[in-house]
Structure 1
Amino acid sequence: MDTKSRIMEEAFKLFLKKGFADVSLSEIMKAADITTGGFYYHFDSKDTLLVKVIEKYIFDYFSSVINQIRNCTGTPKEKLKTMILSLIGETHLSKNSEKIDYRALHLLLMEGVQKYEIISQHYTEFYYNLLNLITDVVDEGKAKGCIRKDVDSTEIATVIQTTMVGTVLMGIAMPEIPLEERINSSIEQLWDYISK
């Protein structure tokens, strides 16, 4: 791995553990095993590094989740379950590195949304894209006759999205209850309401 990538990866690991604001530049340099000059050869400042880390790890995460959801196959019910699982799916720093704890990633995102406009904009865009994808799945279910035609697609998509996000947040706040159990229960309850 090249030095710039190593700096970014080590910084991201520290951000996951401590949050964006609580990581010092000296901690990043120590973790990446570089000198001050080595750091400034690749980045102008900690803020420049932060933006690059956000672009590489956070925005790529958003893109990969949307792509997973777009490419999922199956019945509309299976697609809805896949959407929730995609929000908490396996995320890795790089192809050969360890898995990132989805709880730590989502907590970091919450901090980032509050503190950094660039993360907030991408986060908002992600959830609008997700809402559109859910609406498409509801419309598909209505066209196939497995979802009631009398439900408003956008309204029910909003309820589904709220349930999905709530399920993820509950998994973060209460990890002792198996997430798979929550997901299955949520989907079954929603499906009972919208199906024929």
Structure 2
Amino acid sequence: MNTKDKILETTFLLSLKYGYANVSIKQIKEECGMSASSIYHYFTDKDDILSQMIDKYILNIVDYNNEIMKNVSGSFIEKLKFIFYYSIGINIKEESQVKITKEPINYKNYHLMFNSIYHQYPEYREKFNKLNESMLLFFKELIDEAIENNEIGNVNSEEVAIFIFSIIKGYTELWVGLPEYSLDEIIDININNIWRAIK
């Protein structure tokens, strides 16, 4: 791993643990084992680190994950189930955690951290908006494929994409905030209701 990526990964992992706003350059340099001047050689300031961290650990990861999810075999419902689990870091096909760093991460903290960044740093919301547009396009293509394969009727794929994406966004919030509900139960309820609405 090169020095710049090491700084980004260290900041990302510290942010998962403490929240980005609570991470200092001092903590980053101590964790990386380098001087502040070395950090500033690669980044103009802490905000520059945040901007590039969003690119690397949200935008690039989502693009990469979308490619993986597009290539999952199975019916529309099987693909949808895979996506529900994958969105919270579980690859049900390989029965493994989705890895975005060398070490496993807590995906609840991942979602909480980026929700926090969205609210605390409005200057980066455009990046998140682009991410949402990318996800809507992904779902629209998934639905268009299901229509083409006669798995579902001739629905408005854009409207259904918004419907499914809204459910997935809400479901991750439930998963983070309502630990007494079984993950499998939440996913099954949502998928069954989506299927009833569009079949």
In the superposition, the TM-score normalised over structure 2's length comes to 0.83
- Residues 162-186 of structure 1, C-alpha deviations (whole Å, 9 max, x = no match): 1111111110111332222211221
| Cα distance change, pair 138–117 in 1 and its aligned pair in 2 (3 A) | same
Q: Partner amino acid for 1:8?
A: L
Paired residues in the alignment total: 192
| Cα distance change, pair 133–59 in 1 and its aligned pair in 2 (3 A) | closer
* Distance across 2 between alignment mates of 1:52 and 1:132: 24
The aligned residue for residue 77 of structure 2 is 77
Q: Are residues 1:169 and 2:169 paired?
A: no
Matches within 5 A, 1:12-51: 12-51=12-51
| Offset, 1:91 | 4.1
| Offset, 1:18 | 1.8
Q: Does the 8 A contact of 1:88 with 1:168 survive in 2?
A: yes
Greater mean deviation of Cα atoms: 7-16 or 83-92: 83-92
* Distance across 2 between alignment mates of 1:186 and 1:36: 48
| Cα distance change, pair 122–43 in 1 and its aligned pair in 2 (3 A) | closer
What root-mean-square deviation, in Å, do the aligned CA atoms of Structure 1 and Structure 2 show? 2.2
Structure 1 spans left out of the alignment, 5+ residues: none
Match of 1:100 among 84, 102, 105: 105
Q: Does the 8 A contact of 1:84 with 1:164 survive in 2?
A: yes
Taking only the aligned residue pairs, the percentage that are identical comes to: 29
Q: State the secondary structure of the residue aligned to 1:88.
A: coil
Q: Are residues 1:138 and 2:143 paired?
A: yes
| Offset, 1:21 | 1.4
The aligned residue for residue 185 of structure 1 is 189
- Residues 57-116 of structure 1, C-alpha deviations (whole Å, 9 max, x = no match): 22222212222222222111112222222211244343xx21121111111111222234
* Distance across 2 between alignment mates of 1:139 and 1:17: 40
Q: State the secondary structure of the residue aligned to 1:99.
A: coil
Q: Does the 8 A contact of 1:20 with 1:112 survive in 2?
A: yes
Q: Does the 8 A contact of 1:9 with 1:93 survive in 2?
A: no
The aligned residue for residue 127 of structure 1 is 132
